[in-house]
Amino acid sequence: MSKDGKRKHKNKADNKKAQTVDQNYSQDEKIRLNKFIAHAGFCSRREADEYISAGKVMINGQVTTELGTKVRRKDSVVVDGQNLSLEPFVYLLLHKSKDVITTTDDEKDRTTVMDQIEDATGYRVYPVGRLDRNTTGLLVLTNDGDLAHRLMHPSYSVRKTYLITTDRPLSEAQLEAYLNGIELEDGVAKGYNITQFMDDPNTFEMSVFEGRNRLIRRMVEFHGTVVTKLKRIEYAGLTLKDVPMGRWRFLRQNEINNLRKLVKLDTLDFNKKK
């Protein structure tokens, strides 16, 4: 399946029914501007305040820098040159292939995660966090800006589990060192629930609760070896069950609400009239 990343327009969902939640605002209801921006999937509310303060937000053609400004659904809101609208929330789980870039576009015209879900929903979604080009596995994409921000924020300690293959086996003492914490250039890094496979001593599973850049690869390099294969097999309680490499599916109602509970957001009502 190594060519999946290059098959544009051909990847289809395993579960074609989107679990969407309409943002039930009337055309004239007033909404705080940062909430509008976050609910349009552009960024979190806190980041929206930064865009507002920096003068990068226009309402009906006029720049506003006042925090706490309220807008209506029918207003024209432009952030950093992008027109925003309140679309239903959409949540996807992608089994990312190797050699696929975790970004919405790429100046070198390389295959991105957006190519793997192209035309999937009709809505604009964004990847939650990143997997580097050579890392495969589970990636969540959504236009729910508040949820995405909290899932990525270190204070919520979201569990991520990886299947790691190295160029030589790590000893029991070296794996034990991860449990106790090792000192990297940007601070102590710890691993949890480590399992080494007897039939493949070069491979082990390990969970972490943070998302620092290249964290797993740097933890392995600490012991003088390198990662030859890296796959994220679990994220915030979600797994890759029944999702082949290069394919995706919509998250189910209980999965969406479990994610929101995990990061202390209100659960969503899927029975609201759309």
Where in the sequence numbering do the catalytic residues fall? 132
What DSSP element (H or E) covers 30? strand 30-32
Cβ atoms < 10 Å from Cβ of 271: 6
Give the three-class secondary structure for 253: helix
d(CA 243, CA 239): 9
Say if CB 220 and CB 214 are below 8 A apart.
no
For residue 35, what are its two tokens? 């909430």
Query: Pseudo-torsion of CA 120, 101, 131, 141, nearest 10°?
Result: -20
Nearest to 20 by CA among 142, 139, 152: 142
State the CB neighbour count (10 A cutoff) for residue 70.
13
Residues whose CB is less than 8 angstroms from the CB of residue 199 and which lie 6 or more positions away in sequence, other chains included:
none
